[in-house]
Amino acid sequence: MSNPRERVAALRAEIERHNRLYYDQDAPEITDAEYDRLFRELQALESAHPELAAPDSPTQRVGGAPAKDLAAVRHDMPMLSIRTETDTEDTGAANFDARIRRELDLGPNDPPVEYAAELKLDGLAISLRYENGTLVRAATRGDGEVGEDVTANVRTIHAIPLRLKGNAPEILEVRGEIFMLRAAFEKLNRRQAEAGEKLFINPRNTAAGAVRQLDPKITAQRPLTFCAYGYGVMRGFRIPHRHSELLDAIEAFGIPVNKERKVVKGAEELIAYHAAIAKKREALPFDIDGVVYKVNDLDAQRDLGNVAREPRWAVAHKYPAQEEATEVQAIEVQVGRTGTLTPVAKLKPVFVGGVTVSNATLHNEDELRRKDVWAGDTVVVRRAGDVIPEIVTVRKHGPRRPEDRFEMPTSCPVCGSPVVRVEGEAATRCTGGLYCKAQRKQALLHFAGRRAMDIEGLGDKIVDQLVERELAKNPADLYDLDEAALAGLERMAEKSAQNLRGSIEKSKHAELHRFIYALGMPGVGEEVAKILARHFGSVANLMTADWTALMADKEAVRKDNVQRKKRGEPVEDVPLEGIGPELADSIAKFLHERHNRDVIERLTRVVEIAAPAQRRGEGGKTFVLTGSLAGMTRDEARDALEARGHKVAASVSKKTDYVVAGADAGSKLDKARSLGVRVIDEQQLKELLKER
Ligand code: IVH
């Protein structure tokens, strides 16, 4: 048996390795239970041998005892703030460059100034102090002179190394932002909701609140991350001449630095960077509220100096806000495809996230009550990317007369059928089914959607008329429409009637999974539709399925697999993996309903449905797509790969076989390279798709 010192060292190395596999590479090699055993063994050894304790031990990441308050820390070098350029247009960047050139006494014939362009991360600024490579202190910015000691909390953040890599300097203060990935934030809120706890408002507040906790165990439960963008005191280290190189050095010490940074020259390239990031903004896994430009030359930075607490050499160039305040004029109810009644706030129009918004969803009755929104209130509205605008919070109460209190209607506002709210469910539903015109319209729109039967030209306005005039009650009726009927619709020229008729005709050839998806069964999205298509292979098989038997069979295979695993035997594929008993029940109900069966039967008489090209496993490789492709959309690439039996995953891990990198590929490409995953370009993808 090795001595405790050696065992502690071995355990630390092993645990750090598993941390990297789990947190950085998304490819754990051991189960959580096995990890816990290693961790507890290390904890036990450290408490039995206090002389072996170390500030950079992985055990320090779980958080110790809560503090009474956070101690004050004076910054040796003040933490500066940054001047904000509120002009979100190109002129914002041009004005900054002009100012810098003036301050540096540069004439029109002097070369362009070099800048470091970075993202403006939206979180909490932090200063990390490493002494001889070990993290010894973390402090918030505070007023710039004095911040708060949050070392215990910051140790719980896995992105922050407790020890630097390589030849660490005597002192290195790294400054950067602690923030939260959007996906992690959403997951956290889902967990809160399930536990019946209060939801968090946005990633930034949540990150800031988590860092300033008195109890580090709470911080440890918040999925925080970190990126460096600057520095404080440095000693015993050859400091490079450029800001960008300093960040490279910090990165080489093992500290994360954002990959989207770029060295650019002159106003034009600043503008191009601002525009390129604006395009990418929604696709980034975290929120930003702008970009930051910094004069890259550190000597020039020193010459430029500061005004008050803001350096002259840097500016934050903002984007249009994604949150704005406005007034709720009324709360109405909309009926969705599956009959769900959604309360919608009618807003005084407001410009947010680049468009004018006049409606925002309140999701459901519980959400509306939780946020306590009334007509007349002033609220904060958020719109990011393609997501539906929503109300974040109430900023100021309106008059709130009791008679204005919102009540969920007891009958459907569209068809008058009674509404029900199933116990344990958030949704209130209209019981009218396809008798309800709102549901009919939504069902037709869904059926015609791009990812479903792809009937081009069958939009809102047309569907409204088809349903109002009772020309189409269900998807099957669409195929009975002739050109004359279509031409009779309002605002429908002869040519467009012809085109629409043509797209309806074209949709008569469909792949099975698209057809299943198009039916709009509750709970059946694209993924589930694909599982059903692969399993059943035809509409007839799907229609005659015995769901009780299937689910029993599934359960039996699963149980058998548990035994097989114990015996070390190979396991079998679980049938209909991904479809649980509740979903199976709802599919079975839908398929049993007379009306639905009639519609499906009529559809199968006119639509020619192609069985899945190949069954799962024949292609069997896992792909990740990143960047933009020139000759096809990512959806098309995904369809083509899946049709050949391959899988397309969202993120890169050790299990990825190929990463297809298009133009402007970002962090997924970097990750592929660091994991040694094979990277191919669009041309290679095309060749691969040609192969049999
Ligand atoms: S540099 C030289 N760079 O923005 C001035 N700050 O509004 C020091 N921030 O307190 C800051 N991303 O919390 C800098 N790439 C970036 C940044 C960034 C986000 C934050 C930081 C700062 C605040 C100022």
39 vs 24 pLDDT, higher one: 39
- CB-based contact 204:122 (threshold 8 Å): yes
* Rounded Cα gap, residues 10 and 33, in angstroms: 19
Nearest residue (by CA) to ligand 1, atom 13, is 125
pLDDT at 1 over 60: no
Atom of ligand 1 lying closest to residue 84 CA: 7
4-53 shares its CATH topology with 513-610: no
pLDDT digits (tens, 9 = 90+) for 42-59: 989 998 999 998 888 988
- What pLDDT is stored for residue 189 in this prediction? 84
Determine the Cα–Cα distance for residues 118 and 258; give it in Å rounded to an integer.
8
Q: How many CB atoms sit inside 10 A of residue 225's CB? A: 21
Report the CATH number of the 4-53 domain: 1.10.287.610
152 has a pLDDT exceeding 80 = yes
Going by C-alpha positions, the residue among 395, 394, 399 that lies closest to residue 370 is: 394
| Index of the ligand 1 atom closest to the CA of residue 314 | 2
pTM of the model: 0.58
The answer regarding whether domain 96-318 maps to CATH 3.40.190.10 reads no
Q: Distance, CA 432 to ligand 1 centroid (Å)?
A: 54
Q: Is ligand 1 within 6 A of the CB of residue 316?
A: yes
pLDDT tens, 325-343?
Answer: 899 999 999 998 888 999 9
**What pLDDT shows up at residue 26?**
65
Given a cut of 60, whether residue 614 has pLDDT beyond it is: no
Q: What is the DSSP string of 580-631?
A: -HHHHHHHHHHHH-HHHHHHHHHHHHH-EEEPPSS-TTSS--EEEEESB-SS
79, 80, 81, 82, best to mutate for ligand 1 pocket (most atoms within 8 Å of CB):
82
Average pLDDT over residues 234-252: 95
> How much is the pLDDT for 613?
60
Amino acid at 120: K
Residue with the bigger pLDDT between 135 and 565: it is 135
Mean pLDDT of the chain: 89
Per cent of the chain over pLDDT 90 is 55
Architecture of domain 622-690: 3-Layer(aba) Sandwich (3.40)
CB 230 near ligand 1, within 6 Å: yes
CATH 1.20.1240.10 fits 513-610, yes or no: no
CA nearest neighbour of 324 among 360, 299, 300, 293: 360
pLDDT band for position 692 (50/70/90)?
A: low
Ligand 1: distance of its center to the CA of 583 in Å?
Answer: 47
Regarding the beta carbon of 63 and ligand 1, being less than 6 Å apart is answered no
State whether the beta carbon of 292 lies less than 6 angstroms from ligand 1. yes
Q: Read off the pLDDT of each residue in 378-403 and give the average, rounded to a whole number.
A: 85
Dist CA 66 CA 214 (whole Å): 5
Cβ of residue 115 lying under 6 Å from some atom of ligand 1: no
> Tokens at residue 141, please?
């910015």
Say if ligand 1 is within 6 A of residue 120 CB.
Answer: yes
- pLDDT range class, residue 617, cuts 50, 70, 90: very low
The CA distance from 340 to 338, in Å, is: 6
Q: Which helix (H) or strand (E) holds 258?
A: none
Considering Cα of 508, then 513, then 519, then 525, what sign does the dihedral take? negative
pLDDT value for 616 = 45
- Answer whether residue 649 shows pLDDT above 70: yes
80 Cβ inside 6 Å of ligand 1 = yes
Q: How far, in Å, is the centroid of ligand 1 from the Cα of 70?
A: 23
Element (H, E) at 8: helix 4-19
Q: What is the rounded average pLDDT of the residues 416-426?
A: 85
What separation in Å is there between the alpha carbon of 244 and the centre of ligand 1?
15
Best of 292, 312, 315 for a ligand 1 pocket test (most atoms within 8 Å of beta carbon):
292
> What pLDDT does 426 receive?
83
Q: Closest ligand 1 atom, CA of 123?
A: 13
Cα gap 658→649, rounded to integer Å:
10
Domain limits of the chain?
4-53, 96-318, 322-410, 432-507, 513-610, 622-690
Distance 229 CA to ligand 1 centre (A): 7
Distances (CA, A) of 282 to 188, 322, 462: 20, 11, 31
Fold adopted by 432-507: DNA polymerase; domain 1 (1.10.150)
User: What is the arithmetic mean of pLDDT over 593-617?
Assistant: 83
Tell me what pLDDT residue 28 has.
74
250 Cα to the center of ligand 1, angstroms: 16
Q: For residue 675, which of 656, 649, 648 has the smallest C-alpha distance?
A: 656
Residues in the chain: 692
pLDDT in the model for residue 629? 86
Cα–ligand 1 centroid distance for 173 (angstroms): 15
By mean pLDDT, which of 312-316, 431-435, 581-585 is the weakest?
A: 431-435
CATH number of the domain located at residue range(s) 322-410 in this protein: 2.40.50.140
pLDDT of residue 435: 84
What mean pLDDT comes out for the span 161-167? 94
Indicate whether residue 82 lines ligand 1 (CB < 6 A): yes
Q: Is the pLDDT of residue 580 over 90?
A: no
Q: Measured between alpha carbons, how far is 69 from 135 in angstroms, rounded to an integer?
A: 21
Query: 430-486: per-residue pLDDT in tens?
Result: 988 878 999 999 999 999 999 999 999 999 999 999 999 999 999 999 999 998 899
Looking at the DSSP bridge assignments, the partners of residue 411 are: 418
List residues with catalytic annotation: 120
Query: Which of these ranges, 16-30, 91-105, 542-556, 598-612, has the smallest mean pLDDT?
Result: 16-30
Q: How far is CA 214 from CA 7, 141, 199, 364, in A?
A: 33, 17, 20, 35
Q: Which atom of ligand 1 is nearest to the CA of 310?
A: 5
- How many angstroms separate the most distant Cα atoms in the chain? 90
Which of 84, 229, 263, 301 for mutating ligand 1's site (highest number of atoms within 8 Å of CB)? 229
* Any ligand 1 atom below 6 A from CB of 121: yes
Between the CA of 81 and the centroid of ligand 1 the distance, in Å, is 7
Å from CA of 82 to ligand 1 middle:
6
Cβ 27 under 6 angstroms from ligand 1: no
- Residue 385: per-residue pLDDT: 62
Q: Which atom of ligand 1 is nearest to the CA of 122?
A: 19
> Is the Cβ atom of 291 under 6 angstroms away from ligand 1?
no
Any ligand 1 atom below 6 A from CB of 179:
no
